[in-house]
């Protein structure tokens, strides 16, 4: 893995479990990270905690502020907040890579795949963002409580986009968080990772696993151009 410098990373909804864990890992790896939240005071608290923990600086602000001041946005909000959040940052996201991590879980039946009428959370994101942003989806099935530690996580991250360059960048961003980013095809394929999340929740319960993930088998060579 070669060292890669990413542009400023904005974590939209970055006070949640997934967002704050990703932020912490990217900060620790030396990247310029900014935590956004509906509540900028809460964003500042989480940022301060991560700064304390890692000894590095990290920015914070409202979701919109962070979206405006960063170049690569990672959206980590619950399904119920997805569309509204994307609408809020749409103008600020113009021309930027937006990584949507949304899984269409519908509590309380989270062990059962229940896909939205649009087909997937990726299709909802695309409908909201149109062609304004470079939409990528990823990080659907990472156990956030493991990501919040410094431990190695045996977990591949499927990365989907119709924009090949953006897809490759986000696979490298997953690598930078100590995971393995695997390019997994066009946005239409995102449904596979979204649906798999309910399967993983089922497996955790059924087999008493602490945060199951998946790994692709077979030797994955460098991507074929």
Interaction mask 85-124, its own copies, x per CB under 8 A: --------------------------xxxxx---x-----
Instruction: Report, in Å, the least distance between residue 167 CB and its own copies.
Output: 10
- Spell out a b/e string for 21-59, using b for 16 or more CB atoms within 10 Å of the CB, else e: bbbbbbbbbebbbbbbbbebeebbebbeebbeebebebb
Residue with tokens 């989270």: 110
Instruction: Report, in Å, the least distance between residue 181 CB and its own copies.
Output: 12
Alpha carbon separation from 8 to 60, 67, 72, 97, 191 (Å, rounded)? 12, 10, 6, 11, 28
150 belongs to the binding site for its own copies (CB under 8 A): no
51 belongs to the binding site for its own copies (CB under 8 A): no
Closer residue to its own copies in complex, CB, 49/180:
180
Instruction: Report, in Å, the least distance between residue 153 CB and its own copies.
Output: 8
Can you say whether residue 107 is alpha, beta or left, with left for phi > 0 and alpha for psi between -120 and 50 degrees?
Answer: beta
Residues 166-185 that bind its own copies (CB under 8 A): 182-185
213 belongs to the binding site for its own copies (CB under 8 A): yes
């Amino acid at each position: 893995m070669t060292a890669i410098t990413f542009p400023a990373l904005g974590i939209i909804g970055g006070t949640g479990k997934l967002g704050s864990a990703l932020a912490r890992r990217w900060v620790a790896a030396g990247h310029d990270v900014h935590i956004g939240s509906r509540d900028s005071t809460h964003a500042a608290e989480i940022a301060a905690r991560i700064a304390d923990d890692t000894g590095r600086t990290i920015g914070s602000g409202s979701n919109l502020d962070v979206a405006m001041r960063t170049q690569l946005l990672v959206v980590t909000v619950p399904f119920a907040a997805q569309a509204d959040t994307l609408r809020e940052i749409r103008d600020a996201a113009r021309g930027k890579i937006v990584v949507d991590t949304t899984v269409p879980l519908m509590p309380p039946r989270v062990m059962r795949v229940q896909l939205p009428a649009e087909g997937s959370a990726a299709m909802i994101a695309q409908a909201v963002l149109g062609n304004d942003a470079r939409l990528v989806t990823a990080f659907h099935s990472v156990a956030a409580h493991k990501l919040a530690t410094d431990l190695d996580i045996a977990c591949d991250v499927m990365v989907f986009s119709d924009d090949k360059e953006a897809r490759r960048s986000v696979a490298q961003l997953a690598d930078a968080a100590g995971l393995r980013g695997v390019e997994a095809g066009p946005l239409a394929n995102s449904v596979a990772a979204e649906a798999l999340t309910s399967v993983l929740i089922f497996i955790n319960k059924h087999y008493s696993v602490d945060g199951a993930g998946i790994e692709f088998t077979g030797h994955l060579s460098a991507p074929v151009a």
